[in-house]
Amino acid sequence: MLPLRFPVHWRIASALLLAAVLLAAMMPAMLWWSNPEKMARWFGSIDKWKHVGTFAVLALWFAGQYRPNSYWRIAIGLLAFGLLIELCQRMVSYRTAEWLDVAADLLGIAIGLLIARAGLGGWAQQFESWLGSRA
């Protein structure tokens, strides 16, 4: 972990973020509109993009707290988290587990870590510095 002023707070926020993603992944799909079949097709077509976006954000979140030489650990940890989500979804009747979801997770992880390498890694230190200057 980077030398952060509030490491415990970052860890708690990280755990809450992961729990929120897992909870969202396990919720039954709810369709509020009048044509559930059409909406299911539309949501189904963007499902993989939701995986890519979610895991890109998660990768950036953790890259903000860890050194670049730990990015491979972030990738492995998030891949394991993606597999856990699919395993949990397989255990319930109202969700489905798909290998393509894991592939989309991997793409999101790669995108997030590439963005971190391009300059957004370590953002948590900058955020803490900004907070300190405001106090």
Query: What's residue 44's pLDDT?
Result: 59
Residues 6+ apart with CB under 8 A from 2: 65, 66, 67, 122, 124, 125
Distance CA 38, CA 50 (A): 18
Pairwise CA distance, residues 52 & 88, whole Å: 19
Please tell me the predicted confidence (pLDDT) of residue 31.
46
Tokens at residue 4, please? 């952060």
pLDDT of residue 47: 85
Per-residue model confidence as pLDDT tens for the chain (135 residues):
999 999 999 999 999 999 999 999 998 865 444 455 555 565 556 889 999 999 999 999 999 999 999 999 999 999 999 999 999 999 998 888 999 999 999 999 999 999 999 999 999 999 999 998 987
Residue 122: name the closest of 65, 84, 83, 74 by CA.
Answer: 65
| Residue-level pLDDT at 60 | 98
Residue in the structure block whose two tokens are 């509020």: 32
| Residues belonging to the chain | 135
Residue 32 confidence (pLDDT): 42
Domain map (residue ranges) of the chain = 45-135
pTM for the model: 0.88
- Give whole-number Cα distances, 87 to 17, 80, 95, 101, in Å: 19, 10, 10, 11
Residue pair 101/82 in contact (Cβ under 8 Å)? The answer is yes
